[in-house]
Amino acid sequence: MKISQCLNTYLFYPIVLFFLWCFTTQAADTKHTVTELSTLTFGVVPQQAASMLARKWSPLLAALSQNANYQLHFATAPDIPTFEKRLAKGEYDIAYMNPYHFTVFNESPGYQALVKEKGKKIKGIIVVQKISTAQSLSDLNGELLAFPARAAFAASVLPRANLKIKGIDNQIKYVGSHDSVYLAVAQGLVAGGGGVKRTFKTMDKEVTSQLRVLWVTPGYTPHAVAIHPRVSLAIKEELTEKFTQLSSTQAGAALLEGLGFKPFEAATSRDWDDVRALGLGDFSKPLENNEE
């Protein structure tokens, strides 16, 4: 009897220790997974220099992460084509992307609309030097124009489409960002270039003081903040609420103003049907044959 009790005791403790080890390991693994999932990469379309975007967006992402079940990590890309490739691969958990990009990457890899600016219509602009003699688009016929990238919706796609409709023929040069467009125009390297009012207003005043807006496009549904389908519904709902409540506080409103944003509202994929109706097709294919 005593021998049996000793054997039972001898076997009991290792079994208990084994199950404790399993529980501890499982808990540690669960904690590790939660930590990984709560750190989300927030990609921002590189309309401007990465350093400038990081400086402007980081306070907003910090505010959105405060007391949340996630932390947003700022990310961008060296240029818009690289940003497009990363979106195609689903590298960003959340991304601020132009309307055209959203219609493409909503299809694959399936980014879902989160929020957009309330009451905003995005419009492209064409800028020229302040001393330029050009007074209309026709005055740019035959001239070299700069655009950020082939699929930059308001700053490139809309202006180029309108130039084509009006029968205005141009040499096209893609320079990678809105800032680079404004610099190229200010330095007289090109006759004009495409951008949007928001980036024009936030660009270095030493540059924009040398420029003027020659033409403005019609308006369309603005940029989307979209989320990858792998992110949980709970985080999606929490982040939507955080975005839409930003303007309700003085600090949040100040952050939006600093980025040139209106208050955000919840969005659905259908909000970009006006962009889909343009029938733009594959953005990798040029609208003209005279692109550099």
pLDDT for 284? 52
Distances (CA, A) of 272 to 166, 229, 263, 267: 25, 18, 18, 9
Q: In the predicted model, what is the mean pLDDT of residues 5-10?
A: 47
- Residue 286 pLDDT level (bands cut at 50, 70, 90): low
pLDDT tens for residues 189-239? 999 999 999 899 989 999 999 999 999 999 999 999 999 999 999 999 999
Distances (CA, A) of 90 to 84, 95, 169, 171: 10, 10, 36, 33
Fold entry, domain 36-121+221-276: D-Maltodextrin-Binding Protein; domain 2 (3.40.190)
pLDDT for 280? 81
Q: Does a cis peptide bond (omega within 30 degrees of 0) precede residue 109?
A: yes
pLDDT for 240? 98
pLDDT for 26? 39
pLDDT tens for residues 24-58? 333 333 333 334 448 999 999 998 889 999 999 99
pLDDT for 18? 41
Q: Which residue has the higher pLDDT, 281 or 198?
A: 198
Distances (CA, A) of 23 to 1, 14, 26, 240, 256: 33, 14, 5, 35, 46
Distance of CA 27 to the CA centre of its chain: 36
pLDDT tens for residues 74-133? 999 998 889 999 999 999 999 999 999 999 999 999 999 999 999 999 999 999 999 999
What global pTM score does this model have? 0.72
What superfamily would CATH give domain 124-216?
Answer: Periplasmic binding protein-like II (3.40.190.10)
d(CA 118, CA 115): 9
Identify the bridge partners of residue 266 per DSSP, sorted by sequence position: 115
- Residue 283 pLDDT level (bands cut at 50, 70, 90): low
Query: Which part of the chain has CATH 3.40.190.10?
Result: 36-121+221-276, 124-216
Residue with tokens 């208050």: 263
Q: Is the pLDDT of residue 150 over 70?
A: yes
Q: What are phi and psi of 176, to 5 degrees?
A: 100, -30
pLDDT for 81? 87
Mean pLDDT of the chain: 87
pLDDT for 31? 34
